[in-house]
Amino acid sequence: MANAEVVVVGPGELPLITELYNEMFRPARDVEFFRRRFLGRYNGLILVANVDRRPVGFSLGFELKPSVFFAWLTGIHPDFRRTGVGSQLHEAQAQWAIEHGYQYLRMECHNGHRAILHMAIQTGFNIVGVRWDPDRSENLIIFEKALVAD
């Protein structure tokens, strides 16, 4: 189990996020892709996970509506998957959302990303919908989790 240090960073770290993203995913993206996604968004959050001072993961999110925080994108370097870094990022993001008054955390996942589907269910998310992603011609599973007890 990796013991990651999860830190909140600002938009100045988007070049680092872009570099990490491009090590993990295809197609490659540029910094403007991330800047555009945060334009007009309220309460944008950028988290970076470091192990032994090496950035190995990130999590990005923003307010979807006043009671719901949207966990938009998370990535873990392949060498650090299944070591707990993703769970540590999720926990830090959920705690930040609670501290900022959100009642729910929402995320989406492509149907083919089995590890993320399993993690979402194991960490208390419920499936609340499905939508078609025309860019990838694949279903997205929509998950939501209550952050505070009713």
**Tens of pLDDT along 108-132?**
998 888 888 988 998 899 999 999 9
Relative orientation angle of helices 85-99 and 114-122, to the nearest 10 degrees: 50
Task: Give the separation between CA 6 and CA 55, rounded to whole angstroms.
Answer: 10
Ranges of residues in the chain whose predicted pLDDT is under 50: none
Question: What integer pLDDT is reported at residue 90 of this predicted model?
Answer: 93
Output the pLDDT for position 123: 87
Helices 31-38 and 14-24, axial angle in degrees (round to 10)? 120
User: Which three-class secondary structure state does DSSP give residue 7?
Assistant: strand
20: phi then psi, degrees, rounded to nearest 5: -60, -45
Please report the pLDDT score of residue 116 as a whole number.
Answer: 86
Q: Residues near 113 by Cβ (< 8 Å), separated by ≥ 6?
A: none
Q: Where are the domains positioned within the chain? A: 5-146
Please give the pLDDT value at position 150.
Answer: 63
Give this prediction's pTM: 0.93
Architecture of the domain defined by 5-146: 3-Layer(aba) Sandwich (3.40)
Task: Look at residue 119 in the predicted model and tell me its pLDDT.
Answer: 86
Which pLDDT does position 77 carry in this prediction?
Answer: 94
